[in-house]
Structure 1
Amino acid sequence: MANYLFQHLDELEKFKNDLQTVLITDIDGTLSKIAPTPDKAVVDPDMRDELVKIREKYKLVAVLSGRSAANARELVGVEGILYIGNHGLEFLKNGDSYLDPEVEQYLSQVKEAAHTIKQHPSCPVEGVLWEDKGVCYSIHYRLCPRPEEAHEKILKILEDLDCAKSLKVTEGRKIIEIRPPVGFDKGQIMEKLVDENNLEKIIYLGDDITDADAFSKLRELSNKGKIEGRGVLVISDEIPQGLKDAVDFYVHSVDDVLKFFKWINSP
């Protein structure tokens, strides 16, 4: 069972001021408060300043997001950190962009599926936001008058759509996403980062069911003695209870995340 982080900071003292410590974090709901639409999200200057300090003080800072890598960098606005976008299908490092080579063959199919859903007569229209992220396509239904009804209708259309059957369909906080059936989940990305960078100590922060794979992998690698890792979940009423059981600690808000960053940056 997860504990409230600020009642157990002593358990993270081993990470504080250790140059080998690595911070990996999601963006929306973790570094920025959940916004009505993706373009309204904001990373506050105080959060950005603390991330700069963490980057300067510790081994690695990585941002792991469902946003495109370029959009993640634009939103966070901190140079010198690793941006992993579209759930691992692309990443930016030192100004260079990398795309999973298997992805390109599915790009037209992803767009075709999104276009077909959008034109479907039973697809909800009011409040639905369609987001083309280049590699993936996101359907946001947070602003729908009846979000759960919209959610079920969109999934039903996808289920019956031939051009979507070979694609990957995932869900997050009031979002359905169409992806190529290749690439990595956040847990596989976590392990890849560990192996390629000889990581030893990791703190991972997230807020969504898309972070579940990362939390699970972190615990698995820790239990095997491969790394020392701790997962921190930003809780909300939009995530399943089981996700809280998969982490070591929880916090209540993005403001708590900022408070933690200030703590880990302090002497």
Structure 2
Amino acid sequence: MVNSLPHPTTSAGRDGLAAILARPQETVVALDFDGTLAGIVPDPESARAHPGAVAALAALAPRVASVAVVTGRPAGVAVRHGGFAGVPGLESLVVLGHYGAERWDAATGTVRAAPVPPGVAAVRAELPGFLDRAGAWQGVWIEEKGRAVAVHTRRAADPEGAFEALKGPLADLATGHGLVLEPGRMVLELRPPGVDKGVALASYVRETGAGSVLYAGDDLGDLPAFAAVEKLRADGTPGLLVCSDSGEVPELSDRADLSVPGPAGVVDFLTALAEAVEEVRGD
């Protein structure tokens, strides 16, 4: 119901929510995966969408212009871990993986992908020796992401200490191979420049011709998407920024129009939004 929806704390957010409710058929709903639709876990391979996430998305998707998952993961991995394939109601779902370098469309069940930049392969080969020389192997591990490589410190004896100690050297390594370093929640990702969630989101909104946009995220990698929505708002397209709040990333929660408690809060919000849209349409 409309009254069960949480209220944005900003005037821009209230305008964005009002536009979504008034014209849901013109709205793109875009969401990060890890930390937003799925909980953060020590091993990303064990991450799965929140038990209520697929049902919430399936209830909302037929009522809006489009639902897109925007993630740094490979698109196919996000589809598998999310359980998005073959779900009634999600026939038009789009997953923009690797920050938009890959795209999975539920309508076809296929992934389209750009070539892997050569710098990623070079860093992938060099990283094991690099971390060994840095004495950083204890609890630190490498995640292969196809078009990016990530170094996780969450399992280290001192996760924050390892994160801070590696940030500078890994930034230099990335620069030396024409890549950039993207810090996250106890993870440091090396990936190609000019590719981020903001670029992916802005491009998708232009493609759809959306009249309003909602974006939900949880980490530093979502800041470019927040900036893209802010730019769209400045250009006249209403938008709502939602933070899946862990308490770990104030840089994001401070810029959000609305904060909810983690993936469970995101699922509750999406469910309430689907009900509110249906109620408004019924009127």
TM-score, normalised via structure 2 length? 0.83
Q: Distance in 2 between matches of 1:163 and 1:113?
A: 13
**1:91-102 residue pairs with structure 2 within 5 A?**
91-93=103-105, 94-101=108-115
Contact 1:124 1:153 in 2 (8 A): no
Residue 122 of structure 1 pairs with residue 134 of structure 2: yes
Q: Which amino acid aligns with 1:256?
A: G
1:244 maps to which of 243, 246, 253: 253
**What displacement does 1:166 show?**
2.2
Structure 1 position 206 matched with structure 2 position 217: yes
Greater helix percent: which structure?
2
User: Which deviates further from its counterpart, 193-202 or 244-253?
Assistant: 244-253
2:265 is aligned to 256
Aligned residue for 2:155, secondary structure, equals coil
Q: Shift of residue 156 of structure 1? A: 4.1
Aligned partners of 2:59, 2:271: CA distance in 1, in Å? Answer: 9
TM-score (norm 1): 0.87
Q: Structure 1, unaligned stretches of length 5 or more? A: none
The 2-side partners of 1:57 and 1:30 are apart by 21
Task: Evaluate the alpha carbon distance shift between residue 249 and residue 123 of structure 1 in structure 2; reply closer, same or farther with a 3 A threshold.
Answer: same
Q: Tell me, what secondary structure is at the counterpart of 2:157?
A: coil
Residue type matched to 2:234 in 1? N
1:58-100, Cα deviation, whole Å (9 max, x unpaired):
2111001111111111111223311111222222123222223
- State the AA in 1 paired with 2:185: R
**How much does 1:145 deviate?**
0.6
Q: Residue 205 of structure 2 corresponds to which residue in structure 1?
A: 194
* Residue identity in the other structure for 1:15: I
What letter is aligned with 1:214? A
For 1:218-237, what aligned pairs fall within 5 Å after superposition? 218-225=229-236, 227-237=237-247
The 5 A counterparts of 1:47-66 are 47-66=53-72
List runs of 5+ in structure 2 lacking aligned partners.
Answer: 86-90
Matches within 5 A, 1:144-223: 144-159=156-171, 161=173, 164-181=176-193, 183-223=194-234
In the other structure, the counterpart of 2:126 is 113
After superposition, the Cα gap between the structure-2 partners of 1:46 and 1:133, relative to the gap in structure 1 and judged at 3 Å, is same
Moved more, 244-253 or 64-73: 244-253
Aligned length: 258
* C-alpha contact (below 8 Å) 1:122/1:153 kept by paired residues: no
CA distance in 2, matches of 1:218, 1:57: 21
Distance 2:47 2:183 in 1: 19
User: SS in structure 2 opposite 1:27?
Assistant: coil
Q: What amino acid sits opposite 1:224 in the alignment?
A: D
Distance 1:214 1:128 in 2: 28
Moved more, 152-161 or 168-177: 152-161
Q: Distance in 1 between matches of 2:174 and 2:37?
A: 37
Aligned partner of 2:49 in structure 1 is: 43
Which residue matches 1:77?
83
| 1:113–1:163 Cα contact (<8 Å) kept | no
Q: After TM superposition, give the deviation of residue 258 of structure 1 in Å.
A: 1.1
How far does residue 111 in structure 1 lie from its aligned partner after superposition? 1.4
**Could you list the per-position Cα deviations for residues 44-69 of structure 1 after superposition, in whole angstroms to 9, with x for gaps in the alignment?**
33211111122222211100111111
Contact kept, 8 Å, 1:117 with 1:154, in 2: the verdict is no
| Aligned counterpart, 2:88 | none
Deviation at 1:187, TM superposition (A): 1.3
Is 2:89 the partner of 1:89? Answer: no
Identical positions, percent = 29
